[in-house]
Amino acid sequence: MNTSDEPSAGYLDGREHVLPVRVYYEDTDFTGVVYHGNYVRYFERGRSDFLRVVGVSHASLLDRSDQAAFTVVRMEIDFRRPARIDDGLTVRSSCNRAKGPRLYFDQKIMRGEELLTQAVVEVACIDMSGRPRKPPAGLMETLRPLFC
């Protein structure tokens, strides 16, 4: 039992980050099926918590003297099966590689062993003016052992 008031950021399973999520009424359309745009939210939570679990929060990137942030530049999503109200899902995220300012993620949303949705996501590290920049050195040393 988690006695902390801190919400769970999931955990690493080998090189893959696992984030449990629940489907709530607000996530669904009038038929009780998850609205397609909400899968993007689940994927965002998965990537953000992946970084948080390995010690890199978005806030810590903004607290640096050489501030950095990430922006999605490409996302390809395959919808295979619908998630429904009250389903317990897992968002599984892996970071495959980096090239210059870009990081490449594979993500999937599972209901038990059933694949519901998968995405290939390309994010770019940017400075506060929105220009591409290489990710901070410490971040790359942290992520490199997790590349699949």
What structural domains and CATH numbers belong to the chain? 12-146 (3.10.129.10)
Digits of tens for pLDDT over the chain (148 positions)? Answer: 556 677 889 999 999 999 999 999 999 999 999 999 999 999 999 999 999 999 888 888 888 888 899 999 999 999 999 999 999 999 999 999 999 999 999 999 999 999 999 999 999 999 999 999 998 878 888 888 888 7
| pLDDT value of residue 2 | 56
Is 29 noted as a catalytic residue in this protein? yes
Active-site residue (options: 13, 27, 29, 127): 29
36 Cβ neighbours under 8 A, 6+ residues apart: 79
**Residue among 54, 55, 57, 110 at smallest CA distance from 87:** 110
**Residue among 68, 132, 73, 64 at smallest CA distance from 100:** 132
Q: Return the H-helix or E-strand segment holding 69.
A: strand 69-79
Looking from the CA of 29 toward its CB, the CA atoms found within 13 Å total: 9
